[in-house]
């Protein structure tokens, strides 16, 4: 089994199955349950509360937040942070009984979208404590004393953060190295290690820390529990555990505030821990469940926070882009009258509507607490982050030369100081954060195809005898022959008013048909590649991409139907049809690529490049290896010390 999928196996083993079904898991199996996507609009009282709070936040942003200054100075003023604390913006997801707002995921997403439309840096700073800071793990897994002690603090006065990533692990959450060892008194854990890219780390009072604890496996009442062992003696394993870490603890050092291409105002830390003491009462939940907790709370960031911030950024760019297209005259003709730009704007409009529809769908699914939405959350994150980057780059093209110029430079000569170039730079972070696209795509496939992969696992391990392999193959054939035949049979659509709408019905029929075709193609690919299917990331990327577009198509038409029915907005169908037309082209292309092998030759070229087969590609320049840049920095430091 590939190392990547082994990592996912460890991650999956750490997760407990949630109750309910996943739409995308059914779609990849050729049997999508469309009723899972039926969500009710916000209750009137909930929507009214969200509307009123959004008005407060908008007033605060307009009068107290200088987004351009945050970009110039790479710093959010303390007065802004304190003002948002007074408004309760850091406690939106915390229940009222613990001093928070008690908002739904939908209202939380709406507020983040609004903040991001003014300053995505500020939105990220507000989102991190509520998505992956100490509030969510304590709410979900902490005990009552922790809730009463810490939740009012992080709701009203204390910034919190999340420390999972390490220099050598990145997205490989299963292999963190930071260790927390129970001391000889049994009252504290001693933590040693380092954490990287800890957003809000330099300004946080508390951090959710994920570390490995040497522990012994014990059986109690028929279930396995992990008990930490003093000084690590006699441990069966080093198991992931979540802690509340006080940033004032001796031995903790913020070594660096990391700087990035964009997102200049975020506070992001490289942290080292040397014999840092954490009281045993600061363990969140159970010892050994830290990876499960970390991956569970990441769903909030993936499904709610990142899509909301991306949506706010894209919406921020929309009106200025329209204004530019209408006002800019080239060769005696407005840009708005040129077909190339009309096509570009139409594509942008359709995808902006689709991003909003998919984000809203996932927020509502999260509010229902009925289904396992880990796959949908990951897909929403990939879809919104990737299409936001494309959207903003298209906007930058429409702005032309001034789209490449900074807002501050434009303002000096009286031009509108809209920073599209900043948005383009900032957007790249949301593709990377909370699960990079290239990691989430195989994650989606592993989760979506888990039934198939688990069913065939025995054949892939190579541990069976020839006789047992034959028996297993016969057993699989008995299952998959009728399964495969069913993939040619059309399934009835749900009998509900939403799916009775003509445009919704057409798209649903298309998705149902493509789902069965995708399931057949996946099956043939698994038969062909067998164990090596787990290495076929080109196929995994295409499988995820098809599912992503099919889900977004359904979200878009259902959102359009809802807006038509409740608000009388009939023009939204133009947006839905524009997006669906482009999505169908991508689906057709991806499915056709299942049978092409052009990527094989490209991958071979890449493999040879890694082995140094093409030295001419580095000829004719001042040749330097990556390590040379480290040496240059060290040499520069020596020169500075001499002077």
Evaluate whether 20 touches 372 at the Cβ level (below 8 Å): yes
- Catalytic residue, chosen from 71, 166, 434, 512, is 434
Q: Which two tokens stand for residue 225?
A: 């529990």
Radius of gyration from C-alpha coordinates of the chain:
26
Cα(30)–Cα(273) distance, rounded to whole angstroms?
49
Strand (E) or helix (H) holding 278: strand 268-279
Cα(12)–Cα(40) distance, rounded to whole angstroms?
31
From the number of C-beta atoms within 10 Å of its C-beta (0-12, 13-18, 19+), residue 612 rates as exposed
Q: Which two tokens stand for residue 560?
A: 């359009």
Q: At how many degrees (to 10) do helices 437-448 and 3-14 cross? A: 70
Give the phi and the psi of residue 338 in degrees, each rounded to 5: -95, 130
Annotated active-site residue 286? The verdict is no
Distances 393 to 320, 358, 411 between C-alpha atoms, Å = 14, 21, 21
Strand (E) or helix (H) holding 150: helix 144-156
Strand (E) or helix (H) holding 540: helix 537-567
Q: Residues 365, 371, 376, CA angle at the centre, nearest 5°?
A: 60
Q: Which two tokens stand for residue 304?
A: 């709610």
Q: Residues 230, 236, 237, CA angle at the centre, nearest 5°?
A: 90
Cα(249)–Cα(242) distance, rounded to whole angstroms?
17
- State the catalytic residues: 434
């Amino acid at each position: 089994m590939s190392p990547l999928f082994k990592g996912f196996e460890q991650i999956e083993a750490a997760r407990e199955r949630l109750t309910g079904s996943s739409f995308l898991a059914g779609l990849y199996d050729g049997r999508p349950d469309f009723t899972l996507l039926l969500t009710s609009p916000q209750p009137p009282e909930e929507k009214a509360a969200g509307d009123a709070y959004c008005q407060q936040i908008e007033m605060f942003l307009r009068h107290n937040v200088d987004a351009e200054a945050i970009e110039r100075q790479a710093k959010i003023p303390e007065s802004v942070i304190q003002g948002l604390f007074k408004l309760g913006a850091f406690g939106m997801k915390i229940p009222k009984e613990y001093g928070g707002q008690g908002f739904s995921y939908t209202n939380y997403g709406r507020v983040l979208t609004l903040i991001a439309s003014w300053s995505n840096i500020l939105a990220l700073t507000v989102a991190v404590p509520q998505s992956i800071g100490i509030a969510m793990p304590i709410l979900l897994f902490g005990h009552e004393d922790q809730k009463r002690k810490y939740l009012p603090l992080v709701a009203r006065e204390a910034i919190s953060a999340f420390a999972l990533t390490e220099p050598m692990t990145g997205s490989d959450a299963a292999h963190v190295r930071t260790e927390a060892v129970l001391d000889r008194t049994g009252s504290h854990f001693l933590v040693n290690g380092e954490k990287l890219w800890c957003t809000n780390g330099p300004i946080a009072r508390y951090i959710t820390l994920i570390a490995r604890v040497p522990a012994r496996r014990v059986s109690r009442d028929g279930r396995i529990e992990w008990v930490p062992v003093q000084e690590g003696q006699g441990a069966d394993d080093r198991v992931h555990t979540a802690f509340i870490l006080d940033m004032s603890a001796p031995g903790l050092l913020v070594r660096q505030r990391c700087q990035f291409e964009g997102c200049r105002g975020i506070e992001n830390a490289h942290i080292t821990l040397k014999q840092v003491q954490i009281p045993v009462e600061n363990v969140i939940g159970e010892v050994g469940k830290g990876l499960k907790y970390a991956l569970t709370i990441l769903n909030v960031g993936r499904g709610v926070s990142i899509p909301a911030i991306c949506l706010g950024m894209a919406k921020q760019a929309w009106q200025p882009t329209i204004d530019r297209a209408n006002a800019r005259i080239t060769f005696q003709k407005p840009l708005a009258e040129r077909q190339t730009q009309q096509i570009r704007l139409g594509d942008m409009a359709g995808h902006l509507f689709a991003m909003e529809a998919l984000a809203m769908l996932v927020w509502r699914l999260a509010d229902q607490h009925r289904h396992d939405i880990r796959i949908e959350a990951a897909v929403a994150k990939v879809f919104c982050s990737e299409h936001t980057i494309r959207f903003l780059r298209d906007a930058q093209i429409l702005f032309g030369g001034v789209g490449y110029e900074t807002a501050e430079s434009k303002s000096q000569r009286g031009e509108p100081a809209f920073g599209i170039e900043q948005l383009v730079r900032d957007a790249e972070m949301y593709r990377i954060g909370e699960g990079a696209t290239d990691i989430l795509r195989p994650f989606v496939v592993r989760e979506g195809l888990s039934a198939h992969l688990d069913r065939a696992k025995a054949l892939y391990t190579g541990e069976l005898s020839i006789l047992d392999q034959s028996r297993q193959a016969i057993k699989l054939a008995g299952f998959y022959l009728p399964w495969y035949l069913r993939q040619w049979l059309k399934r009835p659509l749900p009998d509900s008013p939403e799916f009775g709408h003509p445009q919704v019905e057409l798209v649903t029929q298309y998705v149902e048909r493509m789902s069965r075709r995708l399931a057949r193609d996946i099956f043939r690919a698994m038969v062909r590649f067998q164990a090596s299917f787990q290495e076929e990331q080109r196929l995994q990327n295409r499988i995820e991409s098809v599912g992503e577009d099919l889900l977004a198509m359904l979200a878009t038409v259902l959102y359009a139907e809802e807006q038509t029915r409740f608000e009388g907005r009939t023009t939204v169908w133009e947006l839905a049809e524009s997006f669906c037309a482009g999505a169908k082209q991508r689906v057709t292309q991806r499915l056709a690529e299942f049978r092409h092998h052009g990527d094989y030759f490209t991958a071979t070229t890449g493999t040879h490049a890694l082995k140094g087969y093409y030295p001419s590609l580095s000829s004719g320049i001042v040749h330097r290896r990556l390590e040379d840049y480290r040496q240059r920095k060290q040499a520069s430091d020596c020169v500075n010390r001499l002077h």
